[in-house]
Chain A
Amino acid sequence: MVRVLLWILDRLEEILIGSLMAAATLIIFASVLYRYGSGIPALYPYFHQIHFSWAQELSIYMLIWMAKFGAAYGVRTGIHVGVDVLINQLHGGLRKKVILFGLLCGALFTGIVGTMGADFVIGLMSTDQVSPDMELPSWIVYACIPLGSYLMCFRFLQVAWSYWRTGQLPHHDAAHVEDIAEAEKPDHVGGVAA
């Protein structure tokens, strides 16, 4: 049961950040097209009814949401870089303790930030502050701080727990590119050599 829930959480997180990324890119692309499209007289009648003034704001908000939830996803994939010069010199129990300390500090920081964010958002709910262009209620916009930070806190605890149990840390490998290394060789070079 817990496994299924976790699986659903993982997939939701991935779908959310992937689609926010795609949507924000497309919105900005469309707004550029729109700006130049509306300059063409033939297209003007179709274009002038659409308003794109909200595009910039919406894409910024989408990317901030993407960043907050993506940071949590990043804990799970081990992409957050640290200074490992010292801990690579340590061995055995001490190393394990230092790494756990680091992970728990992560959980502590994100937990505090999440709580501060939640306070702030709850305070906003009683006001009718809205965002400048789209006039979205501000508390919805800012809700990504507590939600994202708490999720990130949870991910830190999850990683710390599995490290405690198994000694395994998630590791992001920058050099790893699938499909490319095996499949491709320059044709021209190959051609000349053959």
Chain B
Amino acid sequence: MNAAIIFVLLFGLMLTGMPISISLGLTVLTFLFTMTEVPITSVGLKLFTGLDNFGIMAIPFFILTGQFLTRGGVARRMINFTVSLVGHWPGGLGLAGVFACALFAAISGSSVATVVAIGSIVLPAMVDHGFPKRFGAGVIATSGALGLLVPPSIILVLYGVSTNSSIGALFMAGIVPGIILATLLATVTWFIAWRNDYPRLPRATWAQRLKAFRDGVWGLLLIAIVLGGIYGGIFTPTEAAAVSAVYAFFITVFVYRELRLRDVPKVLLNAANLSAMLLYIITNAVLFSFLMTHEQIPQAMAAWIVDKHFGVWAFLLVVNIILLLAGNVMEPSSILLIMAPILFPLATNLGVNPIHLGILMAVNMEVGLCHPPVGLNLYVGSGIAKMGITEMTIAVLPWLFALLTFLVIVTYVPDISLWLPRFLGVLH
């Protein structure tokens, strides 16, 4: 009963269009004021202690890294590198776009940053070379979603923090699915380009490839710093994030010299703006999950599931449906912060590995980013391509279908996510 009141209140407030963080907070306050004896001051304290966690601080640092990288010519060099490798295949520029998105995702951690950074360069180039705009927009908007899955991913950090799972293990778990998904998206791109005989670029020579690699190596090194550093035990994910932010500042300002020192305050301010927004949702989601635990809602749901003899199979199906539906109204980090604390105890109860659940949720969020009405990648893509949302929606369909297929595979083959972390010994 209480659960029903809480969720009705939450959805009612959300529908008025107020910030999700505020609707979460107000729901908690209203409920605590009217229905319980919980001392209200403890709520104020939670707004501080909810953030008092070194793991969470990886988020602002990764956001700052992404802000530097989107402005500093790193994306262009990555594109040059992937173009030199695959540009002569059918749909060459599109394929290069997919792989550049995967590489950029591996250094930036955000899906939107990836779409903006890669899309604003690849899309105009594709149109110049005679690709239909729809094809380009579809490729980039969906490939950008790799940012959620390929480490370092801000979504995976959020999941790790809100369920107390190892962020390092989550990052390692994201690698194999990320590679498979990139391959899948590239296959779709290749197939469409081959069927329609889209233009190819001349094959680059090995000298050109080497030069493109040397130009891009500073950005590519960041992948080694983050993943190698975390896996090698050199630093924690948060420290890795801070180091990569300083590194990104260094290469964009001093090595590539594409960002002027006097523009740095603006980058900092933008990063602070984005991170504060996320951290504000986090504090209120912490309040909300405190309310959930206080009312023992996850426990009640778990008891119900056990009672109904739900298998893992059916549970995961229901989880996917709920998340896909939520993806129609909310953006990924809010869904994750609200749902992860609820789903986590249920999943562990049924013997689903928490790391697997995290990867599953990340892939699910990717799907949500690529379809209307709230798919942020579509809006970003339509901004870059100057296309309407309806046309964008049609443009992404082939890749969206591939994403959904991939979601089913990841859901029911846990080994895709769990193999690498087990192999590396970060997961037992």
Contacts and interface: CB of A to CB of B under 8 A. Distances in A.
B235 A193 contact: no
Interface in B256-292: 265, 268-269, 271-277, 279-280, 283
Contact of A71 (B26, B84, B124, B276): B276
Interface string B383-416: 1100000000000000000000000000000000
Interface stretch (B50-58, B166-174, B315-323): B50-58
Interface in B195-248: 201-202, 204, 208, 212, 234-235, 238-239, 242-243, 245-246
A18 B268 contact: yes
Contacts of A112: 29
Contacts of B359: none
A17 B379 contact: no
Given A28-B238, A174-B376, A180-B70, A145 B268 contact: no
Q: Is the interface of B mostly helix, strand, loop or mixed?
A: helix
Interface stretch (B12-20, B145-153, B177-185, B346-354): B12-20
A157 interface: no
A73 B73 CA distance: 28
A120 B380 contact: no
B193 interface: no
B17 A25 contact: no
Nearest to B65: A25
Nearest to B60: A63
B374 interface: yes
B19 to A, nearest CB: 4
Interface string B14-49: 111111111101100100000000001101110110
B6 interface: no
Given A87-B16, A174-B376, A80 B22 contact: yes
Contacts of B73: 184
B16 A105 contact: yes
Given A82-B14, A113-B25, A192-B201, A25 B246 contact: yes
B20 A189 contact: no
B83 interface: yes
A22 B269 CA distance: 9
Contacts of B84: 188
B50 to A, nearest CB: 9
B120 interface: yes
Contacts of A85: 15, 328-329, 373-374
Given A80-B277, A83-B20, A188-B212, A175 B269 contact: no
A81 B57 contact: no
Contacts of B124: 181, 185
B102 interface: no
A79 B273 contact: yes
B128 A59 contact: no
Interface in B350-386: 373-374, 376, 379-384
A26 B22 contact: no
A131 B379 CA distance: 44
Interface in A1-27: 14, 17-22, 24-26
Contacts of A125: none
A25 B242 contact: yes
Interface string A71-107: 1011001011111111100000000001101110110
A90 to B, nearest CB: 9
A119 B204 CA distance: 68
B129 interface: yes
A82 B17 contact: yes
Nearest to B51: A64
A98 B17 CA distance: 8
A13 B315 CA distance: 47
Contacts of A105: 13, 16, 18, 22-23, 26
Given A22-B268, A82-B20, A187-B80, A29 B246 contact: yes
Which 10 residue pairs spanning A and B have beta carbons closest together? A70-B276, A175-B383, A102-B18, A80-B19, A28-B242, A116-B44, A67-B279, A87-B17, A71-B280, A18-B268
11 contacts: A29-B242, A67-B275, A67-B276, A70-B279, A74-B277, A85-B328, A86-B17, A101-B16, A177-B70, A184-B73, A186-B121
Interface of A: 14, 17-22, 24-26, 28-29, 31-32, 36, 56, 59-60, 63-64, 66-71, 73-74, 77, 79-87, 98-99, 101-103, 105-106, 108-110, 112-113, 116-117, 119-120, 142, 144-145, 149, 172-177, 179-181, 184-190, 192-193
